[in-house]
A and B are shown apart, each in its own frame.
Chain A
Amino acid sequence: MNNNKKNISSSKTDNSSPSGEVGRGVAAIQYIDLYRECRDMIAEHSASLLNAPREQALADFERLGFPTQKEERYKYTDVAAAFAPDYGLNLQHIDIPIDPYQVFRCDVPNLSTSLYFVVNDRFYDKALPKAMLPEGVLVMSLLEAAVKYPELIGKYYAKQARTHKDGINALNTMFCQDGLFIYVPKGVVVTRPIQIVNILRADVDLMVNRRVLIVVEEQAEACVLFCDHAIDDHQFLTTQISEVYIGENAHLELYELEETHVKNHRFANMYVDQQRSSSATIDSITLHNGLTRNRTDVTLSGEYAETNMYGCVIADKQQHVDNNTLIDHRVSNCQSNELYKYVLDDEAVGAFAGRVLVRENAQKTVSQETNANLCATDTARMYTQPMLEIYADDVKCSHGSTVGQLNEQALFYMRQRGIPEAEARMLLKFAFAGEVLDSIKMEPLRDRLHHLVEKRFRGELSKCEGCRLCK
């Protein structure tokens, strides 16, 4: 399969740049050249709805390039450097021989989920579980959906994730061929959580451009759990654009857990649109990773909508985690609540930038934003930037952030009672991160995550025994 994979190294050598230079232009030009070269191949293995916005995206990407650190929203992550190395792209839609059910058993004990796999950017449809989903609910490949339900995809695809301002959106729109589509029709309540396991699997360094579209219509309810894993010890680069629509009175819980390895680079942009009286819970937990940048933009476009965002990051070695959020209060009477916690060790770099925007007529907004961080070494570095931008006067908004260390008195108290220092420190850290995990509504999942986090703190690789890395 390697032969069939389009490697971008050729385009890189064409462009004779000074060796070692990882300039913004150089990295971007590689991808522009690659797209021009493979434009037909990309289109051939995708659907017309997905192909439609590509040319505009190319024009935008040519204009924008990769965002530089001079741009306020990309201040803490060097994007161009992450995209500069050579990656293979599976543009020809080659099947990757894998049976995820065999290599992977990442269950949540006591929680039965409707389990699906996405391998790289492909929805795995070889052995689908028995349909446990209520009628009308769709969990399927985006590519297939674009063919089968063009009016549905046409209505929602690439409407929120615009390409004219963000280089990563533009790049993903140019290259993405497939991904995941979840649809919950009007009034349907999905009681069983939908679990999506994203598996990165390759025999060479690989770039994956994945697209996710989630539509929850009026009065519907769903809970979706994403687990990100990489089962091969190669360099991975993922761009993932998710667009989420939550209709009137609809409720969505979304959990994202990243458990990859140090060679994984992830750029995930998520756009959420909430209608009247809807609620969304977005929980993102990063335990193992290389370089992660999550951007989450929530637009509250109907009154009485409520958003809860939680994040928990545990990072050591040279992990880099950058969470960038925006909550846009466009209308009155909405509520938003954000809580992010970081525990940094070794040479890890953490960044949190959360912006709450309250527009002129968004009166009676209630918003709270909290970011708390623990830095354990003098080589770990934390940037935090909670921002409020308020144009309405009848609002209650607050934010707080702290960077500090474990409470010495609490440590002393525990040691006095015979708990060894290392154990006491671990307990405190665990309790610190626990606040975020406690926000998870599903009890089995909460227990599982507590367990994973504890294992993480104890320095164990919290993988299940099933995957290839653990064997």
Chain B
Amino acid sequence: MEEKNRDNELLREIADKKYEYGFTTDITTDIIDKGLSEAVVRLISEKKGEPDWLLDFRLKAFRYWQTLKQPTWGHLDMPEIDYQDISYYADPTAQKGQGAKDKGQEIDPELMKTFDKLGIPLEERLALSGMAVDAVMDSVSVKTTFRDRLKEQGIIFCSITEAVREHPDLVRQYLGTVVPYKDNFFAALNSSVFSDGSFVYIPKGVRCPMELSTYFRINARGTGQFERTLIVCDDDAYVSYLEGCTAPMRDENQLHAAIVEIVVMNNAEVKYSTVQNWYPGDKDGKGGVLNLVTKRGHLRGRNSRLSWTQVETGSAITWKYPSCVLSGDGSQAEFYSVALTNNYQQADTGTKMIHLGKNTKSTIISKGISAGRSQNSYRGLVRVGKNADGARNYSSCDSLLLGNKCGAHTFPYMDVQNPTAVVEHEATTSKISEDQLFYCNQRGIPLEEAVGLIVNGYAKDVLNKLPMEFAVEAQKLLGVSLEGAVG
């Protein structure tokens, strides 16, 4: 009994914490002036010491972006974004010369502390074994751990800036091939101003011995984060990659427009998990991160596999569709998502499964939870091309409503051109069953806990897909984000 009380206390503590990553780090940051122009694109490229081909890529993207207008089709009430009022590059490591870029040089203790506080120790001896971390703050990668151990197996895991310097051929071969700069408005923006993200290359036949992970942190005021991640998994290789993110509490909206590209070759497998916990704004919907991300995986090889798992609890606005292009014959893709919105948060998220190869399979499991005055939409596309004989898709999208001021919406699109394809979609929307709540209450479980219990059970299909450490984290997150939503 005592133990149970302690557990309850713990739960309450977590619930009362609200957004615990909302602190700011007071550190000298080199921020370039606000505004976006060709000069800014050139400046970013220069600061990163990039080769000409990359500058050309940025400039092409920038010129294309100038011809575009911000799309409005999302089921979102989006504040106007003034692209000239954002600083596109902020470097918190600037103070100590080159920061992490020079190996062996000390990292600013403030930065160390920040990441410690976030639960991401940058010293390898303290880190959880079996997880290598690339820590990115604002526009710069602070440190990548376990690089040497990974190198022994030929695995490359570093920030994309370093990759451009050290493995230009590889980067050049794959960058922009999955998400071309002309893909959409935010992809063009990212392609012109992107800063650090991670680069992962798993060579043929290698099974990555530990989880790779990147931790993104926005710190500086008035900036946006535009990271770019590129993962290439060669024949018969395997990698599991995790991504986490937080930001300080601010009453301004901060823009986060990233691109993630994944290339999966013959018989290779990539697992990509995200626990997204950007600052969601306060109770009245003020502030918060605008999370407008393009994520896409290209299953190029035969029998390749890719799975996206995401737990979305943060951000004022989430607008993203992690997608899979299944062009290799027999390739398989999976998408598991829990999206929770509370207060004034809005989410329009889902996936796209484009079946091009023969006998390709995809599964979509999406669980939406809306509380407070939030709006939560699932939008997904399943397209089966002419030649995708034997394609198979199963989608299931459930929504749970906790409150009578919130909304849950489902917009699935299916476009089938092949007679041998089998595509199924089903969705339900309901509130928490009163019978279940009553049952819990009857057995002495208070309302709030009962709701937490039921929500966790509801999301279990997805949480089970997460790596161990993340699953625990995600479960806690669900609890915290629901705080105040019941009753």
Q: Do A and B come from one complex?
A: yes
Interface pair B419/A405, CB less than 8 Å apart = yes
Quick one: CB contact mask for B401-435 with A, threshold 8 Å, 1 for yes? 11111111111111111111111111111110000
CA distance A405 to B421 in the complex (A): 7
- Which of A109-117, A155-163, A394-402, A414-422 touches B? A394-402
Within 8 A of B (CB), among A379-404: 379-404
With known contacts A375-B419, A401-B412, A390–B407 Cβ distance under 8 A: yes
Shortest C-beta distance, B451 to chain A (Å), equals: 13
- Most chain A Cβ neighbours within 10 Å, of B405, B409, B419, B430: B419
Interface pair A386/B416, CB less than 8 Å apart = no
Interface pair B386/A390, CB less than 8 Å apart = no
Quick one: CB contact mask for A185-203 with B, threshold 8 Å, 1 for yes? 0000000000000000000
- Most chain A Cβ neighbours within 10 Å, of B403, B408, B416: B416
Shortest C-beta distance, A442 to chain B (Å), equals: 32
With known contacts A360-B405, A387-B412, A378–B426 Cβ distance under 8 A: no
Residues of A within 8 A of B430 (CB): 395-397
Answer whether residue A376 sits at the interface, using C-beta atoms and an 8 A cutoff: yes
Interface pair A388/B419, CB less than 8 Å apart = no
Interface pair A381/B429, CB less than 8 Å apart = no
CA distance A390 to B413 in the complex (A): 18
Answer whether residue B53 sits at the interface, using C-beta atoms and an 8 A cutoff: no
User: A374 — nearest CB in chain B belongs to which residue?
Assistant: B419
Across the interface, B418 reaches (CB within 8 A) one of A373, A375, A398, A400, namely A375
Answer whether residue A69 sits at the interface, using C-beta atoms and an 8 A cutoff: no
Interface pair B411/A381, CB less than 8 Å apart = no
Shortest C-beta distance, B75 to chain A (Å), equals: 8
Residues of B within 8 A of A398 (CB): 426-429
User: A382 — nearest CB in chain B belongs to which residue?
Assistant: B416
User: A351 — nearest CB in chain B belongs to which residue?
Assistant: B415
User: A350 — nearest CB in chain B belongs to which residue?
Assistant: B416
User: B418 — nearest CB in chain A belongs to which residue?
Assistant: A378
Residues of A within 8 A of B415 (CB): 381-383
Please give the number of chain B residues whose Cβ is less than 8 angstroms from any Cβ of chain A in the complex.
36
Across the interface, A402 reaches (CB within 8 A) one of B420, B423, B428, B429, namely B423
CA distance A343 to B396 in the complex (A): 24
Across the interface, A399 reaches (CB within 8 A) one of B404, B406, B423, B426, namely B426
Answer whether residue A363 sits at the interface, using C-beta atoms and an 8 A cutoff: yes
Answer whether residue A72 sits at the interface, using C-beta atoms and an 8 A cutoff: yes
Residues of B within 8 A of A399 (CB): 410, 425-427
Interface pair B386/A360, CB less than 8 Å apart = no
Interface pair A400/B417, CB less than 8 Å apart = no
CA distance A72 to B74 in the complex (A): 11
Interface pair A390/B399, CB less than 8 Å apart = yes
User: B425 — nearest CB in chain A belongs to which residue?
Assistant: A401
Shortest C-beta distance, B388 to chain A (Å), equals: 10
User: B405 — nearest CB in chain A belongs to which residue?
Assistant: A360
Dominant SS among interface residues on chain B: strand
Residues of B within 8 A of A379 (CB): 417
Interface pair B407/A397, CB less than 8 Å apart = no
CA distance A380 to B421 in the complex (A): 12
CA distance A257 to B413 in the complex (A): 27
With known contacts A375-B418, A395-B431, A403–B423 Cβ distance under 8 A: yes
User: B428 — nearest CB in chain A belongs to which residue?
Assistant: A398
Within 8 A of A (CB), among B418-477: 418-431
Interface pair B421/A393, CB less than 8 Å apart = no
Answer whether residue A4 sits at the interface, using C-beta atoms and an 8 A cutoff: no
Interface pair B404/A388, CB less than 8 Å apart = no
Answer whether residue A377 sits at the interface, using C-beta atoms and an 8 A cutoff: yes
Quick one: CB contact mask for B83-106 with A, threshold 8 Å, 1 for yes? 000000000000000000000000
CA distance A379 to B385 in the complex (A): 10
Interface pair A390/B408, CB less than 8 Å apart = yes
Residues of B within 8 A of A375 (CB): 416-419, 421
With known contacts A384-B414, A393-B406, A378–B422 Cβ distance under 8 A: no
Interface pair B412/A394, CB less than 8 Å apart = no
Residues of A within 8 A of B411 (CB): 385, 387
Shortest C-beta distance, A392 to chain B (Å), equals: 6
CA distance A24 to B61 in the complex (A): 30
User: B377 — nearest CB in chain A belongs to which residue?
Assistant: A389
Interface pair B412/A395, CB less than 8 Å apart = no
With known contacts A378-B386, A399-B427, A401-B425, A386–B409 Cβ distance under 8 A: no
Residues of A within 8 A of B384 (CB): 403
Residues of A within 8 A of B413 (CB): 383-385
Dominant SS among interface residues on chain A: strand
Within 8 A of B (CB), among A175-225: none
Interface pair B404/A363, CB less than 8 Å apart = yes
Residues of A within 8 A of B412 (CB): 384-387, 401
Residues of B within 8 A of A396 (CB): 428-430
Interface pair A403/B414, CB less than 8 Å apart = yes
Residues of B within 8 A of A403 (CB): 384, 414, 416, 421-423
Shortest C-beta distance, A316 to chain B (Å), equals: 13
Interface pair B407/A400, CB less than 8 Å apart = no
User: B400 — nearest CB in chain A belongs to which residue?
Assistant: A393
Interface pair A390/B401, CB less than 8 Å apart = yes
User: A401 — nearest CB in chain B belongs to which residue?
Assistant: B425
CA distance A375 to B386 in the complex (A): 12
Across the interface, A377 reaches (CB within 8 A) one of B407, B408, B419, namely B419
Residues of A within 8 A of B407 (CB): 389-391
Residues of A within 8 A of B418 (CB): 375, 378
Interface pair A397/B422, CB less than 8 Å apart = no
Interface pair A389/B409, CB less than 8 Å apart = yes
Across the interface, A72 reaches (CB within 8 A) one of B73, B408, B431, namely B73
User: B419 — nearest CB in chain A belongs to which residue?
Assistant: A375
Shortest C-beta distance, A401 to chain B (Å), equals: 5
Interface pair A393/B431, CB less than 8 Å apart = yes
Interface pair B431/A385, CB less than 8 Å apart = no
With known contacts A381-B416, A404-B421, A405-B420, A393–B404 Cβ distance under 8 A: yes
Residues of A within 8 A of B402 (CB): 393
Shortest C-beta distance, B71 to chain A (Å), equals: 11
CA distance A72 to B75 in the complex (A): 12
Residues of B within 8 A of A402 (CB): 422-425
Shortest C-beta distance, A154 to chain B (Å), equals: 37
CA distance A342 to B452 in the complex (A): 42
With known contacts A389-B407, A390-B408, A381–B417 Cβ distance under 8 A: yes
User: B410 — nearest CB in chain A belongs to which residue?
Assistant: A388
With known contacts A388-B409, A393-B403, A382–B414 Cβ distance under 8 A: yes
- Most chain B Cβ neighbours within 10 Å, of A72, A375, A380: A375
CA distance A376 to B418 in the complex (A): 8
- Most chain B Cβ neighbours within 10 Å, of A377, A385, A390: A390
Across the interface, A383 reaches (CB within 8 A) one of B405, B414, B420, namely B414
CA distance A384 to B386 in the complex (A): 17
With known contacts A378-B418, A383-B413, A400–B404 Cβ distance under 8 A: no
Across the interface, B423 reaches (CB within 8 A) one of A360, A394, A404, namely A404
User: A369 — nearest CB in chain B belongs to which residue?
Assistant: B427
Shortest C-beta distance, A132 to chain B (Å), equals: 46
With known contacts A378-B386, A400-B425, A404-B421, A394–B404 Cβ distance under 8 A: yes
Shortest C-beta distance, A342 to chain B (Å), equals: 11
Interface pair B399/A378, CB less than 8 Å apart = no
Interface pair B417/A393, CB less than 8 Å apart = no
Shortest C-beta distance, A377 to chain B (Å), equals: 6
- Most chain B Cβ neighbours within 10 Å, of A382, A387, A395: A387
CA distance A388 to B428 in the complex (A): 9
Shortest C-beta distance, A77 to chain B (Å), equals: 14
Shortest C-beta distance, B139 to chain A (Å), equals: 35
User: A345 — nearest CB in chain B belongs to which residue?
Assistant: B419
Interface residues of A (CB under 8 A from B): 72, 360, 363, 373, 375-405
Q: List 6 A-B contacts (CB under 8 A).
A: A387-B409, A389-B410, A393-B406, A396-B429, A400-B427, A403-B421
Other contacts beyond A383-B413, A398-B428, A401-B424: 4, CB < 8 A: A382-B415, A383-B416, A398-B427, A402-B424
Closest A-B pairs by Cβ, 7 of them: A393-B401, A400-B426, A398-B428, A403-B416, A391-B407, A388-B410, A403-B423
